A and B are shown apart, each in its own frame.
Chain A
Amino acid sequence: MLVDYPGPWTPLLGRLDAHQIPLQNPILFWTFVLVSLGAATVLGAVTYYRSWGYLWREWLTSLDHKRIGVMYCLLGVVMLFRGFIDGVMMRTQQVMAVGPKSPGYLGAVHGYLPPYHFGQIYSAHGTIMILFAITPILVGIMNIIVPLQIGARDMAYPYLNAVSFWLTAAATGLVMISLFIGDFSHAGWVGLSPLTELAYSPGVGVDYWSWAVQIGSVGTTLASINIIATIIKMRAPGMSWTKMPIFCWTALSTSVVGLSSFPVFTAAVALLSLDRYAGTHFFTPGLGGNLMLYTDLFWIWGHPEVYYVVLPAFGILSEIIPTFSEKPLFGYITMAAASIAIGGVSWSVWLHHFFTMGAGPGVNAFFSIASMLVGIPTGVKVFNWAFTLYRGRVRFDVPMLWALAALVLLLTGGLTGMMLAMPAINYTVHNSVFVVAHFHNMLNVVGFACFGAINYWFPKVFGFKLDERTGKLAFWFFSAGTVVLFGSMYALGFMGMPRRIDYIPFTSWRPLLIGEEVGIFLFLIASYYMVKQLFVSIRDRAKNRVTTSDAWGTSRSLEWLAHSPVPFYNFAVQPHVNARDEWAWRREHGLGHVRPDHYEDIHLPNNTPLPLMLGACAFALGFGLVWRMYWLALVSLIGIVIIVIARSFQDDPGHTLPGAQIRQMEAVYPDIPREAGATGGMLGGVVARHALAAPRSRARDD
């Protein structure tokens, strides 16, 4: 009870009481019912198939970078869907609430969402999509691919890796539970100050947002540390910096950006929390606060964050395009340099997010030019990808389709980005949907790259390809949706439509709003085909089984040297790297099937439930702070400290896999996938039990 806030408070439950569960709201009520049913089905299935032990041993307590990566991706994809549903709701509200004569339902004056509900939906959409969907998917992909590409057995710090994941999961859990207990922030994913101050957002919504993003950004910072250290320390012998795959270069650049920018975000939001909890005046309009300080701090993180997500996407394109052009990447050195340059320039452009905040023309001009400079290395990348296609043999597999469409989106996004970088243009579209269209355009580059990456690396991780036909359908509907939705949105920007409005005052905007609704409908069809693709692929996994390590036949980098699916120890013997595209080099010189002549013992870390427990404590800490149940916050904080200290006394000795056993496993390896194809059982079970077989079960098989 440090500050004066409205509403009751009890020591035990803090601000929480029964009517905080919004059962009276039919939308939330039915969402709650559906989610509960879904959760009950999943939990029931796990119980029915007696998979709790398996889940606990092989996933929840695992320190294996591939499993953690898969869990990251799964978390990200689930949240991507949640964010997408938010998008559907927003578009539908806007198309329903046009003009003063439009009817209102469910208590809204116009449309079906009252302003504060709409505010929460768009805030949740932004926060989720950027921090809890795209970021986890990319971190997951980096987690899986980076160690494989540099020939490492795991990340530099496997335990820290699990901690990062569970912190991210805890943060995601906070965002999700805000649906059913209390409410979420209505002040945008950027946390518009001073709207986030207690005077203007007296509920718990902003607190949910602030604690979730703080916990999540700690997780992401730790993940960045891990990836940097992995790339610096764990590269296989012979892999000099200039032989490192380009995806690792982008992962390195992006992690440096993440490592240095996320702490600023944490600090900015922590100061905001101090305002809300301790009554300080950092960002209040009065009593010596400075709300522009928040805006600066936020975007000092916020702009690098954009590159944090876009750089790995560039790396993915740089892996996919050479594979399906049957050519090495054009201008490797330039591409690596451009990746680092983009990361560097990202630090000097943040002010372009508030050209309209009244800075002088000199300041605006400086940041305008700095922002345009980003276009140079980005342009270089586009041309280098184009020349990778030149004199190649271009195939249009599903990953390539996603990658090429991302390339085209990057061009249009670059065009509009150059517009926004000019203050004189920016003044007319700064807070309008034009900006929304621009950054959705750019984040769709990332999204397309992610879908490409999932299609591309899926056989590496799970041992079978994703279905081609449904994958292509998903791609075409998604692309069509992107064109229709964001084309309309760009056009609305030229009509001057502001972002974040839940009621549309001008009927002249209606036709294009209908266009957006059509676009979102196409996305809906695309997401149906995506689910279908996964379903069909798992059903027909025997048919789509990959029998060699090189799933696409023309892949280039080191991860394709490891078996498909990758065994838990990655490489039985660490490879020695001789070329930049090591796998392509071995394949082309007929060395693809040369196996090591003897196997040595491998030392691996033991599983541990401590990261999961740390995540649980972080969740409880966040929940306790949101509702101001200070006892809960204190208990979970002490819990975190105790777990950290306990771990330091534990000194995980790890376990050793004898060389003889590895020899046996390697010998039978190509046969295992075929066995798995014939086995039934539940989804995760098949995939993981046989594809990513664990030491214990494998030992029994032998």
Chain B
Amino acid sequence: MSQEAYVDPATAVLWDQSHTEHDMIATRTLGFWLYLLSDAMIVSSLFASYLVLDHRVNAAAGPTAGDVVHPMAAFWGTVLLFSAILAYGAAMVGLKRGNRTAVLVGLGGAFLLGGGFLLAEGYDFAQLALHGMVPERSGYLSAFYALVLYHGAHLVFGVLWIAVMMAQVARQGFTPNVVYRLLNLKLFWFFQGFIWIYVFSFVYLAGALHVH
């Protein structure tokens, strides 16, 4: 079963003279997928922690999920976030056509909408803090903030990255380096959307339905 096919040494090709160039963009994208896998493991750990700590005991007589989450506020946040993803999708259509302006407009839209989401989330957290619902209050709140803020951190980096890419697209145009970064940023931007889907379902919707 581990026998190999016979290669005639007399005629065998020993050196690769055929200029096989590695596809740089594909290699970079593979690496980014691998990074996303590792990031997904962090997200899973935070989700596991959240699910473990989402219990009456871990609320330490403080607020539980039902008191903390506002699904309607999160819904409008979700609309903003998915509009930002849609805007990025528009930029990708522009990239396919090689249209620099369309890419810049799409990226700009994603930047503004993503930033809007961050502002809305910040406002939401400020309201919670005013009501004494701070991470230090209980294990449950610690897990809640850690999970939601980890998504928020992705958004901060995503927005920063979008700004950098807008500058690079404007300055350099569609060089291979810029293109692979745009593609990786697409993965990243969609990935934070995926995280949000889970956060919205398991934290906000499930939390609002929780009866303790």
Which residues on A are within 8 Å of B, measured CB to CB?
Answer: 3, 156-157, 160, 221, 224-226, 228-229, 232-234, 236-238, 242-243, 259-264, 266-268, 271, 274-275, 278-282, 284, 286-290, 293, 297, 300, 331-334, 573-576, 578-580, 585-586, 589-591, 594, 596, 598, 600, 641, 645, 648-649, 651
Q: Mark B142-160, 1 if CB is under 8 A from A, else 0.
A: 1101100000000000001
**Residues of B close to A237: CB separation below 8 A:** 16, 18, 20
Q: Nearest Cβ in chain B — how far from A65, in angstroms?
A: 15
**Residues of A close to B41: CB separation below 8 A:** 260-261, 263-264, 267
Q: Nearest Cβ in chain B — how far from A377, in angstroms?
A: 16
- Known contacts A280-B136, A575-B15, A648-B168; A290 and B38 CB within 8 A of each other: no
Cα distance, A573 to B27, chains bound together (Å):
21
Q: Nearest Cβ in chain B — how far from A489, in angstroms?
A: 34
**Residues of B close to A221: CB separation below 8 A:** 38
A288 contacts B22, C-beta separation under 8 Å: no
**Residues of B close to A300: CB separation below 8 A:** 45
B14 contacts A286, C-beta separation under 8 Å: no
**Residues of A close to B16: CB separation below 8 A:** 236-238, 573-576
**Residues of A close to B38: CB separation below 8 A:** 221, 224-225, 259-260, 262-263
Q: Which of B52-60, B75-83, B104-112, B189-197 contacts A (4 or more CB under 8 A)?
A: B52-60
Residue in chain B with minimal CB distance to A287: B60
B30 contacts A263, C-beta separation under 8 Å: no
A278 contacts B49, C-beta separation under 8 Å: no
Q: Nearest Cβ in chain A — how far from B32, in angstroms?
A: 9
- Known contacts A234-B22, A260-B38; A589 and B9 CB within 8 A of each other: yes
A576 contacts B15, C-beta separation under 8 Å: yes
Cα distance, A293 to B46, chains bound together (Å):
11
A263 contacts B2, C-beta separation under 8 Å: no
- Known contacts A225-B34, A288-B140, A641-B160; A293 and B42 CB within 8 A of each other: no
**Residues of A close to B198: CB separation below 8 A:** none
A280 contacts B49, C-beta separation under 8 Å: no
Cα distance, A208 to B117, chains bound together (Å):
35
Residue in chain B with minimal CB distance to A229: B31
B45 contacts A268, C-beta separation under 8 Å: yes
B2 contacts A288, C-beta separation under 8 Å: no
B14 contacts A281, C-beta separation under 8 Å: no
**Residues of A close to B13: CB separation below 8 A:** 238, 576, 578
- Known contacts A264-B42, A578-B12, A598-B17; A288 and B60 CB within 8 A of each other: yes
Cα distance, A229 to B143, chains bound together (Å):
34
A288 contacts B37, C-beta separation under 8 Å: no
**Residues of A close to B26: CB separation below 8 A:** 233
Dominant SS among interface residues on chain B: helix
B39 contacts A263, C-beta separation under 8 Å: yes
**Residues of A close to B101: CB separation below 8 A:** none
Q: Is B127 an interface residue (CB 8 A)?
A: no
Q: Is B135 an interface residue (CB 8 A)?
A: yes
- Known contacts A160-B31, A238-B13; A282 and B42 CB within 8 A of each other: no
- Known contacts A286-B60, A576-B15; A229 and B30 CB within 8 A of each other: yes
**Residues of A close to B136: CB separation below 8 A:** 3, 278-281
Q: List 18 A-B contacts (CB under 8 A).
A: A225-B35, A260-B41, A263-B39, A267-B45, A278-B135, A280-B139, A282-B142, A288-B57, A288-B138, A289-B139, A290-B52, A573-B17, A574-B20, A575-B16, A578-B14, A600-B19, A648-B168, A651-B172
**Residues of B close to A331: CB separation below 8 A:** 2
B49 contacts A579, C-beta separation under 8 Å: no
- Known contacts A221-B38, A288-B53, A651-B177; A156 and B27 CB within 8 A of each other: yes
Cα distance, A274 to B128, chains bound together (Å):
19
- Known contacts A263-B45, A289-B58, A586-B14; A282 and B4 CB within 8 A of each other: no
Q: Is B211 an interface residue (CB 8 A)?
A: no
A288 contacts B62, C-beta separation under 8 Å: yes
Cα distance, A469 to B105, chains bound together (Å):
70
A229 contacts B27, C-beta separation under 8 Å: yes
A233 contacts B22, C-beta separation under 8 Å: yes
Which residues on B are within 8 Å of A, measured CB to CB?
Answer: 1-2, 4, 7, 9, 12-20, 22, 26-28, 30-31, 34-35, 37-39, 41-42, 44-46, 48-49, 52-53, 57-60, 62, 135-140, 142-143, 145-146, 160, 164, 168, 172, 175, 177, 181
- Known contacts A225-B35, A233-B26, A278-B136; A574 and B168 CB within 8 A of each other: no
Among B57, B60, B146, which residue has its beta carbon within 8 angstroms of that of A274?
B146
Q: Nearest Cβ in chain B — how far from A613, in angstroms?
A: 18
B53 contacts A290, C-beta separation under 8 Å: yes
Cα distance, A588 to B178, chains bound together (Å):
48
Among B9, B30, B59, B142, which residue has its beta carbon within 8 angstroms of that of A591?
B9
**Residues of B close to A333: CB separation below 8 A:** 1-2
Q: Nearest Cβ in chain B — how far from A497, in angstroms?
A: 34
Residue in chain B with minimal CB distance to A561: B14
Instruction: Specify which of A259, A278, A280, A589 lies most central, judged by the most chain B CB atoms within 10 Å of its CB.
Output: A280
- Known contacts A229-B31, A596-B17; A260 and B49 CB within 8 A of each other: no
B34 contacts A259, C-beta separation under 8 Å: yes
Among all A-B residue pairs, the 4 with the closest Cβ atoms: A288-B139, A280-B142, A589-B9, A288-B60
Among A288, A576, A600, which residue has its beta carbon within 8 angstroms of that of B14?
A576
Cα distance, A590 to B139, chains bound together (Å):
69
**Residues of A close to B146: CB separation below 8 A:** 271, 274, 280, 282
B49 contacts A297, C-beta separation under 8 Å: yes
Q: Nearest Cβ in chain A — how far from B63, in angstroms?
A: 11
Among B14, B135, B164, which residue has its beta carbon within 8 angstroms of that of A575?
B14
A282 contacts B49, C-beta separation under 8 Å: yes
Instruction: Specify which of B15, B27, B28, B39 lies most central, judged by the most chain A CB atoms within 10 Å of its CB.
Output: B15
B2 contacts A293, C-beta separation under 8 Å: no
Residue in chain A with minimal CB distance to B9: A589
Cα distance, A641 to B42, chains bound together (Å):
21
Cα distance, A3 to B35, chains bound together (Å):
33
B46 contacts A281, C-beta separation under 8 Å: no
Cα distance, A333 to B1, chains bound together (Å):
8
A267 contacts B164, C-beta separation under 8 Å: no
B52 contacts A293, C-beta separation under 8 Å: yes
Cα distance, A160 to B49, chains bound together (Å):
31
Residue in chain B with minimal CB distance to A225: B34
Q: Nearest Cβ in chain B — how far from A168, in angstroms?
A: 16
Cα distance, A287 to B17, chains bound together (Å):
67
Residue in chain A with minimal CB distance to B32: A225
**Residues of B close to A287: CB separation below 8 A:** 60, 137-139
A288 contacts B30, C-beta separation under 8 Å: no
